[in-house]
Structure 1
Amino acid sequence: MKKAWLLCTAISVMAFAAPVAAQSTGAPASDDIDDAEAGTDVIVVTAAKRVQDVIDVPIAIATISGDELEQRGIGTVSDLQFAVPGMTMREDGPGSNTIFLRGIVNQYGNGAVVGQYLDELPMTLTAFDQLDVRAHDLERVEVLKGPQGTLYGQGSVAGTVRYITKKPVLDAFEGSLAATLSAVDGGDIGWGFENVMNLPIVEDKLGLRIASRVEGGGGWQDQPAAGIKNGNDQKLVNIRAKALWRATDRLDVEVMYIFHRNKVELGLGYENPDRTVFVAGDPSTVLVPKIQENHIGNLTLTADLGFATLTSATSYIDNDHQYPFAYQCGLDTNCDPFEGNDDRFDTGSLFTQEVRLATQDSGPLQWTVGFFYADLKDNLIADYRTFDASSETPFVSIFTDRFVSEASSESYALFGDVSYQLTDRLQVGVGGRYFHDKQKTASTDFFFLVPDLTEQSGSFEDFSPRGYVKYDISDTVNFYASVGSGFRSGGFNSPGDPPYEPENVLTYEAGIKGRSADGGITFELAGFFNDYSDMLRRGLVFNGLNFTSQLSNIGDVEIIGLEGGISVEAAQGLTLSATGAWIDTEVKAIDAADATNLPGDALDYVPEISFSISGHYEFDWSADMPGFARIDYSYRDKVSYIDRTTFDVFPQFSDSIGLLNARIGVEVSDVSVELFATNITNENKWLDPYHQWRNANRTRPRTVGVKVGMDF
């Protein structure tokens, strides 16, 4: 109650002070959203699947423009987590990320808790298969916080990350080229080439935009016994082609294709403090490299019907993922000492279809309705080689096993959101999503001489409602409050083990956001309370020969948090900004038969305090030589991992981490040169608390480099 009182007090104080800041100088900002293209300070987002000013959307949103992404050196979601306080990750090598937000943390279960979208394209297959999105040629990134189930489905229990790409320009030929060269402390030279080509094939009618990036080198991890040095060098090719056909004045047709391939010899990113990797049994064993390759297609039709906009988005993903997995159970654990190496081969596909209708006028009634369908298939082959780490001959295998599984999910949803402007200042809204998911799984374990796939099937359904109010304190400051629910499907354990039920999250949120009348100050503050019920956890169960994973719904969790940010134009050309989050989590009730957690435990992977501070200065060295200088500092508290079925010592902790990055650039005519440094203090710390299993990554060493680019 004391924490909740402090949270409400902070929001009330900010609400009282906001009008003063908003009225400090200048004339009111325009209410016309189109002014964003004319250079005003309006920040356009499409979080509600229609174009809005960010301060008019009644949820907390972190928005980073494409220019800021480049100037901060944010290329992947791994980089993004340090720019968005309250966002953390479990990372299993490039392209294998589990994203967490606002204390809703779960690396187990059937679906993701945070979804990823590239334009209209869902980039999430399963909880562990969040496809590798490269922040190249983007308009912006939007991080939507809190349950987004109404508009974005069950994979958005905690939030949604949206990458908005640049559209083809239909009346101009333009493009860019850039090359990057970097040196990693104690590691290899990294290099990258990127280009953008915009072709107006038929002026004002048909255009094509191609953005591509290739990368190599940049590794620093070694496997000395195998003679491998800098084995986490990446060999990346990422190509995105996007065509826009303006078929009529009322119909746009967009087609997008993405090819992505990345190969890493030491693929999972786990490492020891001395920057070496662990391999079970014989340390000279060369494991299979990590290779991820996907082909992605999307067709989006947008029709102006006069009274509303009709959108149809059809997508298909083909994903092929090969990776090794080395682990050790025995350091401060209560399981018999054993270790192993796996070769895993995962293939999957995802077909989605969304059709929605959204009002486009500026009247008091605003609404969106739609239908969503998804067909997911995922197949896994895993070859296990397990060793007795405590025997006199530890390199002798206990057993070799092959595990095969096939899984599918066919789901559909009906969703809608409607709001009404009751007065000039007060808006109310409600939304909801009905979701139905039919799952099938089949698996076999050759070690136990199971000749055929053992099938399991079942269905899960849910209705997720949402309600909200927004009050305009002034023309440029809004207060909002909302309550909404999120849902994640249940699923199946190995044959013979009981299935697990769905999870549910009920979130209460209140906040304010706005800008000063001259746009020199922008700010936001939000408080939230999450009632997280039937949370899933994995426990280890001994089956007589080995430990196997079993998921179960262990109990209820409460999460309270406060987050905010402010950006100030302190002087001409100088912008100072800060964002931060405080999150407190506690397991409140538990299934007495489960020992993974106990009441009073905190949740895994949740930092209590995290923040980011930035300074950006734009200057002119001469009349035709503009430049910029930027410095960013990000801090995150240590995060924990608690599992009483495995560890004698708990919780396990990561390190507290502070990262300092800087970049300076100058432009001469159409040529730009930038110098950059990341992790300037060369921190070598645990990012992940899971190091007792030898399954944790560490901060990337100090990297310095230069980027040269040219626009044409």
Structure 2
Amino acid sequence: MATRLKYITALAVVGATTSVSTMAEELTVEEVIVTAQKREQRLVDVPVAITALGGEEIAQKGLTNIQDIAFAVPGMALREDGPGSYQIFMRGLSNQYGSDALVGVYLDEAPVTLSGFDQLDVRPVDLERVEVLKGPQGTLYGQGSVAGAIRYITASPDLNEWGGSIQAQESFISGGDSREVIGGVLNAPIVTDKFGIRIAAHAEEGGGWQDQPEAGIKDGNNQDLRIVRTKMLWKPTEALSVQGMVLVHRNESQLGLGYEQPDRTVTVAVDRARRLVPKKFEYDLYNLDVKYDLGAAELLSSTTYIDHDHQYPASYIGGPETVYGGALEGTDDRHTRAHQFTQEIRLSSAGENFFNYTFGGFYRSMSNALTAYYDTLFAGDYFGGLEYYDRDTYESYALFGDISFRFGRWELGTGVRYFQDDQKSWDGLTEETDSFDSVDPRAFASVKVTENINIYASVGSGFRSGGFNRGPADNFEPETLISYELGSKGILGGGVFAYEAAVFYSDYKDMLRRGLVFNADTGTTDQITSNIGKAEVKGVEVGLTFRPTERLTLNTTATYLDSEITEVKALGATNLPGDPVDYVPEFSYTLGANYDFDWSAAMPGFFRVDYSYRDKVSYIDLSSFPLENTPQFSDDIALLAARLGMKIGQASVEVFGTNLTNENKWIDPYHAWTNANRTRPREVGIKVGYSF
């Protein structure tokens, strides 16, 4: 590991100091514009570690969901329970407990995180880019962004030109079913310069490879996915713009949890031949953004409403390595119904000035109802027909401000967010209420060594709200994070070389995990969510892009993470000091190369190859596993993908392959409970398209 770190550091230093100014002027890496600080800036100017993936890059890499994106962003990991059910972890911060997420997800201005276990499945359809903001974003993005934020930036209507595209794809899964995908985009300027619409649609079927032989199910994790997104843009004046978005998402899969065994079969608890209820993941999203250009500033109102319906099974078997030694297993039929309304009003300065600012307020109202029916088998005794109901409501408010001053090459900035969260929970018998609040500041300083080289230092905080424990146990309190970061970004050699590097240290306090408490009323030990103590994370991140010739672009990214639970204060905590933090890969990296060429004078083409590697991740829970069986581990994972394409006029053809070495590895370390997914098998296919 030390050798690998020395190699990465040396590569960054050499890249930052080597002159390539003798190369041709046209050999430049693409300059990226982002809106991470809620105003347009060059990526190199933002004092935050960001991975930005452009829409074309996402398509050429074959990234189809958030799990694919996680492998393309070192240091990012997921706990996945089938399509649409993800918990996203980043920067060495990861646990499965708490009332909200650790990484916030946004679709344009719309927050699509509902709770810690419910983040809407956003697919990369007709995107301008994806921005992955690393580290706490509590000041501008609020709670749920303790470890970072992910922003999907969709393409907006063009008010001047009609156009669009259509694509069709056929691919084949090793040992599984074929996958058919069709999609298209239509851009229509109904009134030139005034009103237009943009419709993006995506549909896919098949693509499964998991079998449940006892039930006669083959390729049962086929997906039947339908997505339609409509954006409308109205500009009655030069200063005023009104943009509306309606997104309809429907997905169904017979074996939709994603759990599987190494032989690609699914084991269902209690009754191996039982056909579980299919997984249905559906939502409708409505967003309205109203912007007014004041000249020196922009005023924004963003309103979002989400209606979410989620039906899914749960199946678990406490295998020989667990504390139950194979004596406990169960299946659940679960149904979640959620509604969320959010409103943000924000005033931001325009351009880069001596004084830059963002001020705003945010309101959120969310209700989430869960109904579950349980079947449990314990030590040979069957308990069936058990029902559980829970309804949680959240009403939160926030005020935030962020300012910065420029003095020549220097920029100094600070910000703060006040947050209040009022919660209510009802299980059909008992109602509980509680309130939590937080003040989250940040500060940074950056200096422009040259116009295209920036060095920055920052300190920021994040916050995740508390929540409820059923019965006599106390409610759990909020957890907080403070993170220190030193970084640099630059474009060198007339634009042929770009780099970014960051080192950071994070102090994670009142960390939430599962705990054990004795219940005097029942004489049993109950599992609760508890603030167990403190964790520390140290990390290094490096990204390099190099264009040695006009046609060839090379890139690499790498992350090293050292995470450790340093203090345990809670009685009955399921971790010990010195334990690593769950789901944190120590080392991960990507390598990529893209070569543009001409099949003929009228037929440009490209060839792209991408490789990603991630160390194994661990899981420790002393309420689930005896000490001698901890940690539980996933596998090291290495994935290779390639794509070859050509354009013939307005038509295009691409052939591609993902997981070309057909790796069959554990992504998740929770396999001793039969609750873990594995890498998707090799997929090869062809994609054709036509633009108009």
CA distance in 2 between counterparts of 1:350 and 1:400 reads: 31
SS in structure 1 of the partner of residue 548 of structure 2? strand
Which of 629, 632, 637 does residue 607 from structure 2 map onto?
Answer: 629
CA apart distance, 1:518 = 2.1
Indicate the residue corresponding to 1:349 in structure 2: 339
Partner residue in 1 for 2:411:
427
Report if aligned partners of 2:210, 2:265 keep a CA contact under 8 Å in 1.
yes
SS in 2 for 1:81: helix
- The change in CA–CA distance for 1:166 and 1:592 in structure 2 (over 3 A counts) is closer
Task: State how 1:46-65 maps to structure 2 within 5 Å.
Answer: 46-65=35-54
Secondary structure of 1:207 counterpart: strand
User: Which amino acid is the alignment partner of residue 244 of structure 2?
Assistant: V
2:422 is aligned to 438
Report the counterpart of residue 463 of structure 2 in structure 1. 487
The residue aligned with 2:541 is: 563
Q: Quick check: 2:517–2:572 contact (8 Å CA) kept in 1? A: no
Secondary structure of 1:504 counterpart: strand
Structure 1 Cα separation of the partners of residues 51 and 104 of structure 2 = 15
Structure 1's 19 and 420: CA in aligned 2 closer, same or farther, altered over 3 A?
A: farther
Q: Secondary structure at the match of 1:82?
A: helix
Contact 1:198 1:207 in 2 (8 A): yes
Q: 1:358 corresponds to which residue?
A: 348
Matches within 5 A, 1:76-475: 76-335=65-324, 337-388=327-378, 390-391=379-380, 397-422=382-407, 424-443=408-427, 452-475=428-451
Question: What does residue 519 of structure 1 align with?
Answer: 495
SS at match of 2:236: strand
Matched, 1:674 2:688: no
**Partners of 1:673 and 1:707 within 8 A in 2:** yes
CA RMSD of aligned residues (A): 2.2
- State the shift of 1:182 in Å: 0.7
Partner of 2:552: 574
8 Å contact from structure 1 (residues 616, 630) kept in 2: yes
Deviation at residue 708 of structure 1 after TM alignment: 0.6
Q: 1 CA distance for matches of 2:266 and 2:6?
A: 47
1:125-146 Cα deviation digits (max 9, x unpaired):
0111110111011000000000
The aligned amino acid for 1:249 is E
Kindly tell me: are residues 356 and 7 of structure 1, through their superposed partners in 2, closer, same or farther at Cα, counting changes over 3 Å?
farther
Residue in structure 2 matched with residue 593 of structure 1 by the alignment: 571
Structure 1 SS opposite 2:16? helix
Q: How many residues align?
A: 686
Matches within 5 A, 1:632-643: 632-643=610-621
| 1:449 corresponding residue in structure 2 | none
For residues 398-428 of structure 1, give each alpha carbon's deviation from its aligned partner in whole angstroms, at most 9, with x where no partner exists: 3431000000000010001100012x21110
What is the CA–CA distance in structure 2 between the aligned matches of 1:624 and 1:593, rounded to whole Å?
71
The alpha-carbon distance between structure 1 residues 226 and 266, as it changes in their structure 2 partners (threshold 3 A), is same
Per-residue deviation, 1:15: 7.3
TM-score by length of 2: 0.96
Q: Letter of the aligned partner of 1:354 in structure 2?
A: E
| Mapped contact 2:444–2:459 kept (Cα < 8 A) | yes
Q: CA deviation at 1:429?
A: 0.3
Structure-2 residue corresponding to 1:654:
634
Shift of 1:540: 5.7
- Cα deviation for residue 331 of structure 1 reads 2.1
TM-aligned CA deviation for residue 605 of structure 1: 0.3
Alignment check: 8 A CA contact 2:174 2:683 kept: yes
Q: Which runs of 5+ in 2 are unaligned?
A: none
Deviations, residues 596-616 of structure 1 (Å, cap 9, x unaligned): 111111011000000000011
Mapped contact 1:613–1:634 kept (Cα < 8 A): yes
- 1:33 is aligned to none
Using a 3 Å threshold, how does the CA distance of structure 1 residues 477 and 8 change in structure 2: closer, same or farther? farther
What is the CA–CA distance in structure 1 between the aligned matches of 2:630 and 2:591, rounded to whole Å?
A: 32
Shift of 1:333: 1.7
Contact 1:298 1:316 in 2 (8 A): yes
Secondary structure at the counterpart of residue 594 of structure 1: coil
SS of aligned partner of 2:118: coil
User: In structure 1, what is the Cα distance between the partners aligned to 2:440 and 2:64?
Assistant: 34
TM-fit CA distance, 1:667: 0.8
Deviations 1:42-82 (A, max 9, x none): 21000000000000000000001000000000121111001
Structure 2: which amino acid aligns with 1:690? Y
Partner of 1:36: none
Q: 1:72-121 deviations in whole A, cap 9, x for unaligned?
A: 00121111001100000000100000001100112211000001101001
**Aligned mates of 1:137, 1:585 — CA distance in 2:** 36
State the TM-score, normalizing by the size of structure 1.
Answer: 0.93
